[in-house]
Chains A and B, each alone.
Chain A
Amino acid sequence: MRRYSIMYFISQSIKGLWRNGVMTLASIIVLMSCLVIMGSFSLIVMNLNTNLDSLGDMNEIVAFIDPEKSAEEVDSIRKAVEKYDNIKNLEFISPEEALEQEKQKYEGEYSYFFEGITSDIYPATLVITYQDNAKVETLKYDLEHTEGIYKVTCHADIAETLETVKTGIIYIFVWFLAVLFVVSVFVIINTIKLAVFGRRQEISVMRYVGATNWFIMLPFILEGVWIGLLSSGIAYFIEMSIYKFIAGVVATDYQMFTLVPFGTVQLPILLSFIGIGVVTGIIGSSISLRKNLKA
């Protein structure tokens, strides 16, 4: 029983990658960039969805109190606001409580973000739950014109803005991704074309002695697979680093935004990177072989 050695195919494909080092590198860089961008857009959309879900459910307004105000002044502001119409519930959050809440939100994977951070960076806030959605604009107006309150945030407004941003991002994402994938496939096609050209004498002899098309093509297809695997591996580590960096910025500077921990999405991201990387590699090499290897 004749059988082909898998080690032969693997060694041939790896030799092929080395032989066309520059083109291999170009393919990996392009495909990797494509995957990083795809991953970033996916994570942005995923986080926007998570935050939109929580925001949409809240009939809340958050009023930020000027940090310059003394404890007595803060207390009088709170009492004044309590008397406003359409208030169902009012919760006062001190800077110390705000820091504690943020720490709890990011405890575990990102707890190191809060090392050395004091409560001074957080303003005191009033979290107001309102009764009637129709009268929310009046309440917002009253709060914005209250002495000592420097900023008012209404979750409904944010949700609406985020929804628009999300739609825009998805449009850009789809187009950008399509272009990048076409570029990736094109670069891989050229890499494999060079590999075929470099081995044209071997291929011609293989044909004359009766090597099957699969025997001739498999090393080139494997080259595409390696390009896909290497690109996806590198893209995954870049994505993880970028996300952890952004999570740090968001956790300290944009407290009202909650980030999905990378730990919960790492497996789907890794698997989809590998899947897309390998499939792109195979598509690129197959197209190239069809064009450059006469049957």
Chain B
Amino acid sequence: MIEFENVTKVYPNGTLALDGVDLKINDGEFVFIVGSSGAGKSTLMKLLLREEKVTSGTIKVDEFDLSCMSNYKVPYYRRQLGVVFQDFRLFQNKTVFENISFVMRAIGETNSRIRKRVPAILNIVGLQDKMKCYPRELSGGEQQRVALARALANNPGIIIADEPTGNLDPELSFDMMNLLRRINRSKNKTVVVITHEKNLVDHFQERVIRLEDGKMVEDRVGGMFE
């Protein structure tokens, strides 16, 4: 469960990025976070990833209280999250298998577990045949699916996708979103998608949280972009 309680974030230069946000996302929910540029979406994501600390208020994610968590606990907290970026952030000099095994190795998984798990995850995203390919040999949609497979590699409870369809054409965007929803439904993962793509949000009819000038102005289940 993700819980924001009266969260305010003011950057050192005085910019008020989030202003008293109250928010609760239950386990297994699928949530779109929408809003125009500068609304506070990126700040919300940074706070969730514990890249930034709150100025006031509390953020709780499962048993972790991010507002007072010490730095050494941050890596262990982040293992609960899987992150998908707009620009994929795949290593071009590593194969699909190596891109995924890299993040498993980073948290100390054994080689035997890596060898078993990577093909299984690639199967979920439908890329079991592309294991030995390099990212440059894949389409944009396939690269984003590799990025999603990488986010799933360490079996996190929460998937955070930051503009995951920003670099994809409309058809691939729908495929990607369908895949995220399928993972949400079948694996019972909490999925938080930060996006500004109206068509997608309107089409999928999931819970929508809208931010404006740092404030949460709308929270509707089965909502539309506006």
A2 touches B109 (CB 8 A): yes
On chain B, the residues within 8 Å of A201 by CB distance are 89, 91
Is B165 an interface position by the 8 A CB rule?
A: no
Is B105 an interface position by the 8 A CB rule?
A: yes
Is A3 an interface position by the 8 A CB rule?
A: yes
Which of A3, A215, A295 touches B106 (beta carbons < 8 Å)? A215
Alpha-carbon gap, A209 to B109, bound state (A): 12
On chain A, the residues within 8 Å of B91 by CB distance are 201-202, 205
The DSSP consensus for interface residues of chain A is: helix
Is A8 an interface position by the 8 A CB rule?
A: yes
Contact A210-B49, Cβ < 8 Å, known A2-B109, A295-B71: no
Q: Which positions in B face A, CB cutoff 8 Å?
A: 49, 71-72, 75-79, 81-83, 89, 91, 102-103, 105-111, 150, 153-154
A216 to chain B: closest residue by CB? B106
Given contacts A2-B107, A201-B91, 19 further A-B contacts (CB under 8 A): A4-B108, A5-B111, A8-B105, A201-B89, A205-B89, A205-B150, A207-B75, A208-B78, A208-B81, A209-B78, A209-B82, A209-B103, A210-B75, A210-B79, A210-B107, A210-B154, A211-B75, A211-B107, A212-B75
A208 to chain B: closest residue by CB? B83
Interface string of A207-223 (1 = CB under 8 A from B): 11111110100000000
Size category, A interface: 10 to 19
Is A138 an interface position by the 8 A CB rule?
A: no
Alpha-carbon gap, A204 to B153, bound state (A): 17
Among B75, B76, B107, B153, residue most surrounded by chain A Cβ atoms (within 10 Å): B75
Alpha-carbon gap, A201 to B106, bound state (A): 14
On chain A, the residues within 8 Å of B110 by CB distance are 2-3
A210 touches B77 (CB 8 A): yes
On chain A, the residues within 8 Å of B78 by CB distance are 207-210
B99 to chain A: closest residue by CB? A205
A208 touches B111 (CB 8 A): no
A-B contact pairs, 10 of them (CB 8 A): A202-B102, A205-B91, A206-B106, A208-B49, A208-B83, A209-B150, A210-B75, A210-B78, A211-B106, A213-B75
A206 to chain B: closest residue by CB? B106
On chain B, the residues within 8 Å of A210 by CB distance are 75-79, 81, 106-107, 154
